[in-house]
Amino acid sequence: MLHALAVLVAALLAVSGCAPSIDKLKPALAADDSGTVWFASGETVISGDLRFPSGAGPFPAVVLMHGCGGVGNAEGGWVDPLRRAGHATFVVDSLTGRGFREVCTNALALPANRRIPDAYAALRILATHPKVDRNRVVLMGFSHGGIVTLRGATVWAREQYAKDGPTFRAFLPFYPYCNTRFPEMDRIAGPVRIHTGELDDWTPARPCEELVARLAASGQDARITVYPGAHHSFDNVGRPVMRLPDVDSGAGCRFVLPTITASPGAEEIRACLTKGATIGWSPEATEQARKNVIGQLAELLR
């Protein structure tokens, strides 16, 4: 409840024009900074909600990237489990500062590539905090944020946005969209651990399994966990399984692009894009995913 309230306050401040201008942003965080943190991603001021475990630190940290609907239960539900395991959490809001409420019904309004700088900007400001171990920060994202996390895991992204700064130690995409192939995805900058649902009909598991197989075959550290009987957004606690009729779905698309910055043609998208997807909470998958992630973080950050 407190986490949700903090996110709501941040959103209201941004809408009411109280977000600081870029020239008023703090260049570094102090030991007592937590809660809403404003920072620049390019020319846009966005915010994140920063929480710490009890104690002095420095702590490992997890940057969490929301899905197309904005910050909600999926991200918020991870904050307490991660903090109990000794991790600071930074839930980034990519929408409010850009004037969006959601981008689920218009997938082209904010492509995932435009949010990769958000993730690395969050890492840079987080790395200035005295209570954060800047060498043990992980990127974790959900759905649209899972795509950000997956693409943010590429060597290309690291060279673009972290060439002279801190880097992410590992990447945990939850139910990302793996249907688009491009050369940059063949080289990852750190371990990747994908988590997705067997019954996901929005961002299907099979293309992600194929991606992990290709990466593993080339000797790179990538693994996937597919949760039986689980739909998209299976860790959104309390959300009943339901059909969303108006969202854009590219589940039936397969794109091969010359570069990560390229986009499929409009006709190619229209030919395979459909409306509608199923989402909903799976208590069993959520419980297992919590255990899996905590175990993976212990292994990856030691």
Tokens found for residue 165: 């700064």
Mean pLDDT by 10 residues, the chain (302 residues): 39 52 89 96 95 96 96 92 98 95 86 97 98 98 98 98 95 98 98 99 98 99 99 97 94 97 92 96 98 99 96
pTM over 0.75: yes
Tokens found for residue 249: 């779905």
Every domain of the chain and the residues it spans: 2-300
Cβ atoms of 285 and 256 closer than 8 Å: no
What pLDDT does residue 108 have? 79
Report residue 266 CA to chain centroid gap: 26
Tokens found for residue 277: 């997807």
Tokens found for residue 182: 């491009």
Number of CB atoms found within 10 A of residue 134's CB: 18
- Categorise residue 196: left if φ over 0, alpha if ψ from -120 to 50, beta otherwise: beta
Tokens found for residue 41: 């991603």
CATH assignment of 2-300?
3.40.50.1820
Q: Which residues of 101-119 are buried (b: 16+ CB within 10 A; e: fewer)?
A: ebbbeebeebebbebbbbb
Q: Which pairing describes strands 222-227 and 192-197: parallel, antiparallel, or unpaired?
A: parallel
Q: What is the pLDDT of residues 137-169, one digit of tens each?
A: 999 999 999 999 999 999 999 999 999 999 999
What pLDDT does residue 18 have? 66
Where do the DSSP E strands lie in the chain? 35-41, 44-51, 59-65, 88-93, 132-142, 170-174, 180-181, 192-197, 222-227, 242-249, 255-256, 274-279
Cβ atoms of 50 and 126 closer than 8 Å: yes
Bond preceding residue 20 cis, omega within 30 of 0: no
Q: Which residues of 199-213 are buried (b: 16+ CB within 10 A; e: fewer)?
A: bbbbbbbebbeebbe
Cβ atoms of 104 and 244 closer than 8 Å: yes
